[in-house]
A = this chain, B = another copy of it.
Amino acid sequence: MNSEARGSEVLYRQLASRIEGLIEGGTLGIGARVPSVRKLSEQHGISISTALQAYRVLESEGLIEARPQSGYYVRKKRSVKPQRTLALPPEPQMSLPPSTPITVHNSDMVLRVMQATSRTDLLQLGAAVCCTSHLPTQALHRSLVTAIKKYPEAGNSYDISPGTLLLRAPIARRSLDYGCALSPDDIVLTVGATEALNLCLRAVTKPGDAVAIESPTYFNVLQIIECLGLRAVEVATHPRDGIVLESLEEALERENIAACIFMPSFSNPLGASMSNESKKKMVEMLESRDIPLIEDDVWSDTCFESPRPHPAKSFDKSGNVMLVSGFSKTLAPGYRVGWVALGKWKKKVEYLKLVSSEGNPTLTSLAVAEFLEHGGYDYHLRRVRRYFAEQTQMALEGVARHFPEGTRANRPRGGHFLWIELPGQIQALDIFEDALRAGVSIAPGPIFSARQKFSSFVRLNCGYHWAEKTEMGFEILGQLVKARL
């Protein structure tokens, strides 16, 4: 970050802090409209973008909310009051990966990390999993039992690809809420989003092909690319706005890219989201070059603020975007119910699913269908979104309390993980090993990169309820980092 940007950050944080005082003091009551961005900029002699940043800070802290075409309003306070005196760590900077293709080899490192995530003796800040008390376990069990009663023979028959209409129909219907108008016929059910990502990539690439990915990217994408014998081309990202279109365009110009596999909303691990405008531009850019986009949208349902973001698929006019999602993040990881909405490659992916695993288990699909129809999924989503927002804020403040100066952290607006840059070029893999010995599992940055970059980054899970042991875990991590400074 240059000194100009740093100066602007000081400005908008001061401003945010002042407005927060007005809210906390009651001058700006719940539901009150705060001054427009333009007015704020004029009042304080700052740029529009600095004013906007100030509101983004307040918004990310849940104090104000944007209403379309109207402005920002004070929203009701969070149920858990964080320590307001803390200055949060600054955000990480844009990634600037080299954009030549590379063969991926990081399975051993990923396996070591994943093995740690299943150890019950560790504090789990590694895997992006969530506290089960905030999943609708009992309600989903009831949906499962209802499904068994309604369709007593379901377990006895193959639900061959594309899978039961009883689940594809409500998935399609829900897509109207986020700007898509999917038909059940567009959809193929898969074993989690993971299987969908595999099938989509297999449908549009052959071994040796180059695939554009975000830098950093979800590590499973790297594993899939490795196992399919593909090569990765990394695209630069901005910590809030996601994929940098100029970097993508450059990669498309220079390399023969067979497909893109991106997470445009609440990317993992970065937590960035592209704007609607950027998504639209990206879809058009890829469409004009006839390069398919595989869009991993698994985190959108966890958005902290309404409305849920529109996926890139909502701007797709030619069937060039494959929208991958599922219910592992919001409903039940163990059910493995994922899906993909396809355009041009529907027939191919449906066939690959048939050949790869024939079909999904019938009962789990029917249980999720039953829950979507009668279980109160929307009510549950509202609860779980609020919960993730709170836990993420707590974790961010935990970082502010315990990590040394120079630490940076992202400002996620969905999902439940933080992307932390450690100061002084401390190696995340060292901290990973130190933390394991101290009883804490974390996800080190290099597993999110084809080139094992992000060597000073760690991803911390915020899906568990913030408790004394979490506070202690953050304290331990902070001490381990300080010890290596």
Contacts and interface: CB of A to CB of B under 8 A. Distances in A.
B137 A355 contact: no
Interface in A108-150: 111, 114, 118, 129, 132, 135, 137, 140-141, 144-145, 148
Given A155-B141, A158-B129, A206-B207, A194 B357 contact: yes
Contacts of A2: none
A242 interface: no
A224 interface: yes
B361 A198 contact: no
A187 interface: no
Interface string A149-171: 00011111111100000000000
Interface in A294-332: 328, 332
B364 A156 contact: no
A484 to B, nearest CB: 30
Interface residues of A, number: 56
Contacts of A284: none
Interface string A35-60: 00000000000000000000000000
B362 A334 contact: yes
Interface in A172-210: 190-192, 194-195, 198, 202, 206-207
A191 B155 contact: no
A360 interface: yes
Given A111-B351, A137-B152, A156-B132, A336 B358 contact: yes
A134 to B, nearest CB: 10
A17 interface: no
Contact of A356 (B195, B359, B360, B363): B195
A220 interface: yes
A361 B361 CA distance: 8
Nearest to A161: B114
Contacts of A195: 356-357
A331 to B, nearest CB: 9
Interface in A90-121: 107, 111, 114, 118
A352 interface: yes
Contacts of A333: 156-158
User: Closest 3 CB pairs between A and B?
Assistant: A334-B362, A132-B156, A191-B357
